[in-house]
Every structure is written in structure tokens, then in C-alpha cells.
Structure 1
Amino acid sequence: MTRMSRSRARRSVLVTAGLAAAIAVVCALALWRPWTSQDAAVSRAEAGPADAVAVASVDLPDHPRVLVFGDSWTWGAAASSPAEGYAYVLAELLDGETIVDGVPGSGYLVPGGEGIGTFGERIARMDPRLGPDLIIVQGSINDRHLPDTGYADAVTAAWDALAGIYPGTPVVVLGPAPQVLPVESATARIDRDLAGLAAARGWPYISPVLEEWITPEDYEWVIDTGDIGRDHPTSAGHAYLAQRVADALAALRPAR
């Protein structure tokens, strides 16, 4: 299921137009969203545990090699082709290379399709020779239909294994993005749990839920709600998400 994408891949006119429109819409949005789930309205201070440590900065080389690990959104579901998924588009935005490891249906508790395994099981099989400059762990909303029993333990074990395979490599956790609006309470709960666990490690956490990456104004073109898309991002939506991730990583760079 692992694919590689290199920088400078051509993007379609539709993707570029969608990205430009998305940025314009985001800049115009108000700070308060009455349609957002009450469960999602949690500040970063409330999300993290009391013993949270300082968040590490992310200092990337000029042409970084980035491992993007996640679920169907990372795989590129609903894009015109998986190569137009956000994880692949991100390579060009970073002027580097992305190693894309996305499995539809996979989560910390839920195994991916065809028995490929949970996040922890997939991490255990990863190649330690990849040598990424950065690891992005995305998602997952796939765990939202299960109770939270054992969730924190599964996340902790998966992240411990990842840090053991790639010691010293910075990790950024990209939380789940809402596939429907208003944000489901279970998705908001996963977002809070992951934010707290990342804060305890000092790992940067990016929250599409709290930062309201997907709103009613842009939902129709960012998300494909049809029988094929099944509430996954369109090609334009993937390009928009890639830009948001790139901007978030830029904000994590150490001050010069």
C-alpha cells in the first residue's frame, strides 16, 4: 500500500483553482462557528494534560524527505487519482519528497481493509532504512464508531514503536479532519485525546477540527459526498488540505 511521490508533479487547472478559492474563503471566515460541535470547542490548553512538555519545533532541510502515514485520506481517496492526494501534493509544496503510507479503513483500533492491520501493526512492519527527515501521522476518524476503551493505550504503543524505529526523527501528529458537518462528537473526542497524548510527548499537533479547515462555506467542493467519494476530499480538496498542512509545518519552524 505504500507509494512514493516526488516533487514538481504537475497539478491540474481544477486543483490550482480550487486551492486559490479555498485560501480566499479561509481568510474571510469568522473566528466563531455556531455550526461546530460543542464537543469540538476545546482550547489547546484544555486539550493537553497538566504534565504536557514544551512542543518541539520542526526544522526541515531545504529538500526534505517526509514520511506521511495515515488512513484513506493519506492514501488519496476520492481524488481523480491517488497521486493527487494531499500527501503527494505536499511534496511539491515542501520542495521535497513524500513517502506515502496510507491504508483505507485503518485506525489505532480498527484494522485496514484486507487485514492489513491497525496503525500499530502497520508501524511494526515499517522499514527502518527509510530515513525520513520528518514523520506526519494523520487521523483517524475510523476509530470513531468504537468506544474509547483502550484507545490511549493503542495510540501510545503505536507512537512508542514509531519513535523506536526512527529515533531522533521529529514527528508531527495531524488529527482527524471532519468528513461531515457539524463535527461528530466522536471525532471531536478523538481530536482531544490525540492532542493531549501528543502534548505529553512534546510532539506538535495539528487540529483540522479546532482550526476549522472544513466549514459549510467550502464543504461542497472540499468533500465528495457522492457514492464514489463517500465523504472523502475531492482533488481540489486534497490540494487545499496539502496547503494547510504545509502552512502548519511552516509555522512550526524555529525562529531565526
Structure 2
Amino acid sequence: MGAGIIACCVALALGIAISIGHPSAARPTTAWRLVQRVPAHQHGQQHSRTEMVAITSSLRACEARLEAQPRRVPTIAIVGASFTAGMGPDNPELSWAVVLARLLRWNAVIYGVPGAGYVAPGTDQRGPVERMLAQERLHGLAPTVVIVQAGHDDVGQPADREAPRVESAVDLIQAGAPRAQIALITVFAGASTPALRAIDQAIVTAGKAADKQVIIMDPLTGRWKFPRARRDGLHPSAAGDVWIAHKVADILSAHGVQPASVAATVPVICDVAVGMSKPSSDTDRDA
């Protein structure tokens, strides 16, 4: 009990917002939410380790709540980079991953680390993907679907280094959640370049080699067009995140993944988004 109290105090001190929502027939709300809003670069290495303990403890507490509930709806597990963290609208509540969980009305565990890839460690060394998946504890969650969104931040990595890391991530998912469908969202880019195409192809090839049933969602070669935040031309606006969520939901639907009944219990969404310095309004004016 003492350890739990300490973890909660640390989480509050670091700006991790935890809130409990209420049922809504029109829009399933988050039953438990975790958001890291302190930019990691403002802290020293020791402080960053403390943050990591707080995030891990809080994530596990939320997962424990989810696992204790009757399994009336499926669970989706998502790890990813800045798009998953909510960069663009700069509000994790508006990220494509949270919007997708609400569209499906599923339980969800979402972990977004800007800069993370299959090789790249991302913000404060919290990645790469394999490490993030391990922190989600897939075995206990027993997710129906696992999505990995990564690739852009690995640009420049040679294929013979990228491919084994992709295969290792898929192997880890298969070991922890052997019944889950695996989906890989590959490279997002403002403009296609030879380096981006090379890393995209490495991910696609390795993903298919590791799992013949893997669902590939390829924004680069698919030329996904969605509203983007004006300041960088890469990340989505709030409307762009909604577009991405619907696109992902449509692809999943084509593979048999369907939303839960409206009458189902309100889902639990555990969402850790690193590096978001402040929440923005629910309406993104750039959209």
C-alpha cells in the first residue's frame, strides 16, 4: 500500500493527469486516463528515471483495473510514436488512437512516445517499440488486436538492422498475445523520399515475413491525405487524427474487426502520451 501511495504522489508531482469519466450513450468516455504532460527535455537524467517509474506504475494500475473487469468488450493495445502520442493537436485526448478506441467502443491500452521506432529509442529513451510493448504486459491484457505505429523515426537505418527489430517486435506480440491480430502502421511523411521509401519497405517486408496474417497499413505508399497541423506539415490536426482513426477502423473492419455494441459497458482507456506539454482545446482551428 505504501508503494502505491508513493507512486501516486510521484505521478501527481510530475503532471500525470488521471481522471475517471462517466458513461455516455452518445460517446463512450474514458474510464481511466493517464497523460504525461511534462516535456522530458526539461528534466535531468535522474528525474527522467523517476518519471519512468511513475508512468509504469500508473499504467499498470490502469491495466489492473481493466483486467479486473468482466470482459464484455474486446481490448486493443497500441504503441506508437508522435502520431500516437497526439502530436499535432498536442492533446492526447485527440490522438487517432484514442479516437479509434472510441469508434470501436473497446477497452484500450495506448502508449505514445515521440521519436520512437523499431530502432530509435525516442523521447527520454522510453522506446523502442519492443520496450513499449513489454511495458503494456500483453499477456495479462489478452488483446484482440495489437497495433504498432512506427517507422518515420527510423529513417536512415539500414534494412539489415531495421528488419530484425520489426520481426522481433512481432515475435514479442505473438508470444504475449498469441490470439491477437497484429497490425503495423508504417511511415507517415509530409513528402516521399528515397530514404523514407526504403525504411517503409523494410518494415513491410519484415512484418510479412514474421507473420503472414499481419495487417499492413501503409500511409506512405497509400498516399494517405488528411488535414495536417499548420506548423510542421507532417503531424495531423485534430480533424486529421479523426480521418486517420476512421481509415484504420475501415481497414480493421475489412479484416473482421467490428465495434462493440452500443449497449456494452463503457470501455476503459489507459493512455500514456509522453512529451505533451499542454492540452489543447477540443476544437483544432487548423482543421
Which bin holds the TM-score, normalised by the shorter protein?
Answer: 0.5 to 0.7
Shift of 1:237: 0.6
- Aligned residues between the structures: 193
Amino acid at match of 2:239: A
Shift of 1:66: 0.8
Give the structure-2-normalised TM-score: 0.60
Deviates more, 1:201-210 or 1:61-70: 61-70
Q: Which residue of 2 aligns with 1:70?
A: 80
Q: Does the alignment pair 1:242 with 2:253? A: no
- Whole-Å separation in 1 of the counterparts to 2:127 and 2:19: 20
* 1:177-222 superposed Cα distances (whole Å, 9 cap, x missing partner): 22x12x12222222212222222221121111222212xxx5xxx2
Q: Which residue of 1 aligns with 2:228?
A: 223
* 1:152-198 superposed Cα distances (whole Å, 9 cap, x missing partner): 111112221222122222211111222x12x1222222221222222
- Whole-Å separation in 1 of the counterparts to 2:19 and 2:74: 14
Q: Does the alignment pair 1:130 with 2:133? A: no
Q: Which residue of 2 aligns with 1:210?
A: 221
Q: Does the alignment pair 1:187 with 2:196? A: yes
Q: Which residue of 2 aligns with 1:115?
A: 125
Q: 1:68·1:99 contact (CA, 8 Å) conserved in 2? A: yes
Give the structure-1-normalised TM-score: 0.67
Q: 2:75·2:141 contact (CA, 8 Å) conserved in 1? A: no
Report the identity percentage.
26
- The structure whose Rg is larger is 2
Gaps of 5+ in 1: 11-60
Shift of 1:125: 3.3
- Whole-Å separation in 2 of the counterparts to 1:100 and 1:163: 18
Q: Name the Cα RMSD after superposition.
A: 2.7
Shift of 1:230: 6.7
* 1:16-67 superposed Cα distances (whole Å, 9 cap, x missing partner): xxxxxxxxxxxxxxxxxxxxxxxxxxxxxxxxxxxxxxxxxxxxx9943211
Gaps of 5+ in 2: 1-15, 22-26, 31-70, 258-287
- Whole-Å separation in 1 of the counterparts to 2:91 and 2:132: 23
Amino acid at match of 1:196: T
